[in-house]
Structure 1
Amino acid sequence: MKIVKRILKIVIALIGLLLLTGIITLWLDSSGTNYLKINKNESQFGNSYLIKNVNIIPMNQDTVLVDKMVYIKEGIIKKIADTIEVNGIQIFNGEDKYLTPGLIDMHVHVWDRYELGLYLSNGVTAVRNLWGMPMHLRIKEDAMADNIFSPAFFTTGPKLTGSEFVGDDNLNLSNPSEAKEKVILYKDRGYDFIKTYYGLDKEIFDAVIEQAKISEIDIVAHPSQKVAFSYHLNPQIKSIEHAEEIVQQPLQFDLDVIKLQPIIDSISQSKHTRYSTTITVFNNIYQMMMDDSILDSESLEFMNPLILKVDSENQFNRWFNAKQEDSTTVSRIKKQHDFHITIVKKLHEAGVTIVCGTDAGIGVTLPGFSIHKELAFYKEAGLSNYEILKTATINASQTHSMMSQLGTVEEGKIANLLLVDENPLVTLSTLKNPICVFVKGRKLNRETLDSFNEKAKNRKNLMASTLRYLENLAIGK
C-alpha cells in the first residue's frame, strides 16, 4: 500500500511538473508577442486625428478622390472633405500619397500571434480564419477589445466532415442531430461562421444548413464530394472555397473549357454566391516541385515552426516523391494551375463575385505575403486593378454582414486603411510595402511594420504551438 501511495505521489508530481512546464512555455510565447499590445496612453497610437493632403481610393467606385482631408474619430472615419476644421487634434500629412482600404484575406489558417503582425505588415487588416480552435477565440477577443494590434479577426469553428473522413483536425459527424448540436455549440462558443468540408452527405449537410439558418450563422463551404457541386449554391453558404475543387469534383480532372462553362453559369445564376479561388496555395505545389531546396529558403522562416516541421515537410515530401515516380506530374500540376487562372477569368466574365483568399498558413503559403501573389494571379486572369482590389476589399466585406464596416474608405466605416506611395489602380505592387497601416485608426509606420516581420522571422515557438494544438484536440471540438 505504501508503494502504491508513493507511486501515486510521483505520478501526481510528474503531472504537476508537466503542467507547470506547459504554463511557463505558453507564458514565454505570449510574452514574445508583447510588441503587439496596444498602449492606449501613448499619443502616437491615438485613434483620433486628421489626415491631410491625401488621395483616396474609396473602392465604392472606380475613381480617385484627389487632395482630400479625412477625419478619424475614435477609429471611425467621421468625415471626408476638401477642408475639415477640428480644433486640438493631431494632423498627419499624407504628402499627396494614396489612401486605400486595408486588404482582407478571406481564407487563412492562423497558428500564432506572430502571424498577426505579418498580415499587418503586408497591408492585410482583416482575416477570415477557416480552421477554428480555442486559441482563435482568444485572439478574436483581444482584437475586438483593442488589446492588441491585429487584423479584424473572424473565424469559423472546427471543420465539419462526414464520419469516414478521419483526421485529428476534423469533427466527424455521423448523424443530423449531432450536426445540429455542433452548429449550436460553435455559435454559443463565439465562432463567427460554420465551415463545411469533405464527406458530408445530403442528410447531414441539410441538417447543418437548417440549423445554421435557425442560429443565424453563415456557412463557408469547402465543397463536399458527397453532394452535387450545385448543392453548395444554397443561400446559407456565403462563399465556396478553392478553384481546384471545380476541377476535382464536377470536372473530374478534365480540363475542358466547354465542360467548365455550364458550371460557371450555374454559379453565376446564384447571385448570392461568392467564390474564394485560392490560386496561390495550389500554385505552391508547383513551386515545391520546381525547387528542391524550398524548405531551406529564407522566406519560410516566416512560417510557424510546427507547421514547417509537420505540414510543410509532409507536403514537400509528397510532391517530391510524386515527381520521382512520374515525371509528368510537374507538367500536370502546371496545367491545372493554368486552368485555375481560366476559372477565375470565366467566373469574372460571368459576373460571379470573387473574394480574395490565399489559404495562407499551410504548406509553403506564407501569412501576409501571399495575398500579393494571389492578387497578381487575378491580374493574369485579366481583371483590371480596380476589379482586383475589389476582391480584397469591398467584395470581401460584403460577404458577411458582420464585416460590412470594412472594405471601403467612406464616412462611418472603420478606419482600417493603408497609405501607399503610388496609385494602386495603376501600380498594384505598391500595396506590397505600405508606408503606414491604420488599424481601427491607430497608425503603424513602416519601421514598426518591419519590426513585426523581424519578430516573427525564425521564431522558436514549436513547443507552444504544439501545446495549443493539443488543447484543440482535447477540448476544441
Structure 2
Amino acid sequence: MASSMTTAQTDTVALVDARIINGTGTAPVDDGVIIINAGRITAIGNSNDIDIPDQANVVSMAGKTIIPGLINAHGHVSDVLGLESGHYNTENLLRQLNLYASYGVTTVISLGGDEREAFELRDTQQTPALDRARIYVAGPVLSADSPDEAAALVDEVARSNPDFIKIRVDDNLGRTAKMAPEVYQAFSDRADHHGLPLAVHIYYLDDTRQVIEAGGDFVAHSVRDRHVDQAFADQLIAADICYSPTLTREVSTYIYESEPDFFSDPFFLAGVDSEILDTLREPARQQRLRDSAMAQQYKAALPIAMSNLKILADAGVTIAMGTDSGPAARFQGYFEHLEMWMMQDAGLTPMQIITSATGDAAHCMGISDELGTLEAGKWADLVVLSADPLEDIRNTRSIDQVWIAGKALPRPGF
C-alpha cells in the first residue's frame, strides 16, 4: 500500500478517478489517486490503497489518463526566435520553456549552445513555485584539434557546473573534418575526471562503436549510415548506454521542400507563428531544399534510422526520446509528439514510447531521483490526457492539462 498523509495541509491536492500510467512500463492503474503537497507526490495508487487527507482539494480526473510529464532527452533551448538566431536572452529562453510546457514537455535536456542565462534558470527550478518546463544544460558544443585542447575545454566548461558535456563526432556527410579518436578519447577522459556524462552527436555506426569504447555516455542521434546488428546492441547494453533516435531531426532537414501535412494540424498551429509558415511556404525556399544534396541524403537516411530504432528497442537497448528541437523550424513541443508518433510508425508500442519519454529518459539523463515517473517523493510533473495513449500514441495530442510542481499551468492558445 502506498504511504498516506497523516496531517492534512491546505495546499494538498488529490487527483482522483484517474487512469494512471506511471512511466515505469508497468500496467496502468485504474481508479487511481495522486496526492500532491508542496509540489511533490506524497502518495499514489488505487483508490482502495490511498487515504485522502480531509482538507485536500479533491480534483476529479474521471475519463482522463495521467502520464508523467514528457522529457526531451535531446533538445535545445536556444537563441532562435521565429526563424532567426541571435536572440539569446532570458525572455526568449522562458518563451521556449513555456512553449515546451504547453505541449506537455515538462523537462528539456538542452544539449548545447547553453549560456549563463540557461544555467541560472536551471539553478532556480527546484521550487514548488516553478511555472515552466525544467531545463538541464551542457554549455557549448565542444570541439578541439588536440587532446590537450580537449582537456582544457572540459576544464573550462566544468567550472560552470553543467549537467553534461557535448561533442560532435561527425563529418556532415563528408563535408567537414571529423573529430579524431584521440581527441574524443581526451574529451571522454576529462569529462570522467569531472564526473560529467559525455553526450555525443554521431551519424556513422563505426564511429559510434568507437565512441562507446572511448567512454561516451549517451548516443544523441540515430545511426543512419547502415543497419545496426546484435553486436552493436550488446555493446550498448553492456556499457549501459542510452540511445536517442531524434527522428524528427532528419525530418526537419527536408520536410519543407513542400508543405508538410502538419501545417494544417490544429495541435501544431496552436504553438506557431503564422509568419514562420509563410516563410517556409516560399517556393524558392522549397526549391532550394529539393535541390540540396545534403537534405536529400538525410531524407534517404530516415528509413535506416527508423529501422535501427526498432532493432535496438527489440534487443533491449534503453531508448530515450529526443528530437534535437530548438534550431529554426524544429518546432519545440510539437516535434516531441511527432517524434513519438514516428516511433510508433517504426514499430514500437505505445507503452514503450511513453516509457522512453518519461522514466527511461530520466534514467538516461541522470535525473530519475526527482523526475520521470509518478512515484511518491518525486516532483508532480504530469500530463492529463482526454484519450488513451495506449490505444494509439497519437492520442498524446489530447492534452487536457499540464501540471508542473503540483500546479496546472495556463496554456494560452491551446
* Bucket of the pairwise TM-score, normalised by the shorter protein: 0.7 to 0.9
Are the aligned partners of 2:11 and 2:56 in contact in 1 as well (CA < 8 Å)? no
Are the aligned partners of 1:105 and 1:357 in contact in 2 as well (CA < 8 Å)? yes
Q: TM-score, normalised by structure 2?
A: 0.80
The root-mean-square deviation of aligned C-alpha atoms, in Å, is: 3.4
Cα shift at 1:61: 3.5
Q: Compared with structure 1, are the counterparts of its residues 177 and 271 closer, same or farther at alpha carbon in structure 2 (3 Å cutoff)?
A: closer
Distance, in Å, in 2 between the alignment partners of 1:377 and 1:295 is 17
Partner secondary structure for residue 402 of structure 1: coil
1:89 aligned residue? 56
Q: Does 2:192 align with 1:213?
A: yes
1:51 aligned residue? 15
Q: Deviations over 1:133-168 (max 9, x none)?
A: 22211222343355652222111110011xxxxxxx
Q: Does 2:254 align with 1:280?
A: no
Are the aligned partners of 2:224 and 2:302 in contact in 1 as well (CA < 8 Å)? no
Match of 1:196 among 167, 172, 176: 167
Match of 1:408 among 343, 365, 373: 373
Q: Does 2:216 align with 1:237?
A: yes
Q: Deviations over 1:431-467 (max 9, x none)?
A: 22321111011222xxx2134x6xxxxxxxxxxxxxx
Distance, in Å, in 1 between the alignment partners of 2:31 and 2:146 is 59
1:279 partner letter:
L
2:67 aligned residue? 100
Share of identical aligned residues, percent? 22
Distance, in Å, in 1 between the alignment partners of 2:207 and 2:134 is 34
Q: Does 2:60 align with 1:78?
A: no
Cα shift at 1:302: 5.1
Task: Map 1:59-458; keep pairs closer than 5 Å.
Answer: 59-81=23-45, 82=47, 83-111=50-78, 112=92, 113-131=94-112, 132-145=114-127, 148-161=130-143, 173-198=144-169, 199-223=178-202, 228-234=207-213, 236-243=215-222, 246-248=223-225, 251=226, 257=227, 260-261=228-229, 264-265=232-233, 267-291=235-259, 320-321=287-288, 323-324=290-291, 333-444=298-409, 448-451=410-413
Are the aligned partners of 1:285 and 1:319 in contact in 2 as well (CA < 8 Å)? no
Structure with greater helix percent: 1
Partner secondary structure for residue 367 of structure 1: coil
Cα shift at 1:70: 1.5
Q: Compared with structure 1, are the counterparts of its residues 55 and 145 closer, same or farther at alpha carbon in structure 2 (3 Å cutoff)?
A: closer
Q: Deviations over 1:6-47 (max 9, x none)?
A: xxxxxxxxxxxxxxxxxxxxxxxxxxxxxxxxxxxxxxxx96
Cα shift at 1:329: 7.2
Q: Compared with structure 1, are the counterparts of its residues 349 and 209 closer, same or farther at alpha carbon in structure 2 (3 Å cutoff)?
A: same
Partner secondary structure for residue 95 of structure 1: coil
Larger radius of gyration: 1
Cα shift at 1:193: 0.6
Matched length: 376
Q: TM-score, normalised by structure 1?
A: 0.70
Cα shift at 1:300: 8.1
1:220 partner letter:
A
Are the aligned partners of 1:67 and 1:96 in contact in 2 as well (CA < 8 Å)? no
1:192 partner letter:
D
Distance, in Å, in 1 between the alignment partners of 2:61 and 2:349 is 26
Unaligned runs of 5+ in 1: 1-45, 162-172, 252-256, 454-477
Distance, in Å, in 2 between the alignment partners of 1:177 and 1:304 is 45
